[in-house]
Amino acid sequence: MAGLQSRSALSLPFSLSTAFRNLSLTASKRCFSTTLTTQKIKQLPDYIPPYPYGPNYVYKQSNTGLYGGALIQFGNKISKGRNEGKTRRLWKPNVRRKKIYSEALEKSLYIKVTRKALRTIWKSGGLDNYLLDDRPARIKELGMFGWHLRWQVMQTPKIQERFRKERKRLGLPEPPTFEEWLKQKEVETKAQAESQTNIKKATNPTYNSKLY
């Protein structure tokens, strides 16, 4: 009896930490993760025309503000003392949250904007003129956020009236709506596909036999 008691005493853990260590080795897998979640890219609504340049997958933060095409810059830090050498480093864009007034929307907007984009806005004469510029370089630097904000500005009555007067002065017809443009694009794509099929039938006499 005494031998059994001494044998059971030896089999028990000699400390509380050892007991928890043994439990951690035999415990089930963790039900949580310590890794950070990936930053999701905000998608545009369906009623807004797609952005021609797409979202920025390299610097995803630029999709949430007016960054003016600025990205993270990488380079070397050169030391000129006793320990001469190069140290890798990076330079982040100078991003600030600014309150900018929009005359078309008739309200002030809090926007994440870089110093570079802010200077361009001042030179353009305001936020609306900066967003409505139709040059490819300007549209490319707007990003997803600027493209969405540009669409909101263009839908305001003040800008619609401005466009109407401009079209009347130039003698241009009224543009089709986005839905009408999509239908027209589908008809053109279908007609192009049918013409290519007819060309294949005319040039290749065994085309119909291959289909069957």
DSSP 3-state of 37: coil
For the stretch 17-70, pLDDT in tens is 565 555 544 444 545 445 455 567 778 888 888 898 988 888 888 899 999 988
How large is the average pLDDT for residues 95-114?
A: 92
pLDDT band with cut points at 50, 70 and 90 for residue 195: confident
**Residue 46 or 205, more confident:** 46
Question: Which residue(s) pair with 95 in the sheet?
Answer: 114
The dihedral over CA atoms of 151, 152, 153, 159, expressed in degrees to the nearest 10, equals 90
CATH of region 60-170: 2.30.170.40
Q: Is the pLDDT of residue 115 over 50?
A: yes
pLDDT band with cut points at 50, 70 and 90 for residue 108: very high
Where are the extended beta strands (E) located within 46-141? 73-79, 85-91, 95-102, 107-114
Q: Is the pLDDT of residue 189 over 60?
A: yes
Candidates 180, 145, 178; CA nearest to 48 is 178
> What distance in Å separates the CA atoms of residue 162 and residue 171, rounded to the nearest whole number?
14
Distant-in-sequence, close-in-space partners of 78: CB < 8 Å, separation ≥ 6: 85, 86
> What distance in Å separates the CA atoms of residue 135 and residue 145, rounded to the nearest whole number?
17
pLDDT band with cut points at 50, 70 and 90 for residue 176: confident
Q: Is 100 exposed, middle or buried (0-12, 13-18, 19+ CB in 10 A)?
A: middle
Residue 95 CA to its chain's centroid (Å): 17
DSSP 3-state of 15: coil
Phi, psi values for residue 157, rounded to 5°: -60, -35
Model pLDDT, residue 117: 93
pTM higher than 0.75: no
Domain ranges of the chain: 60-170
The two structure tokens encoding residue 194 = 């049918």
Q: Is the pLDDT of residue 208 over 60?
A: no
> What distance in Å separates the CA atoms of residue 39 and residue 58, rounded to the nearest whole number?
11
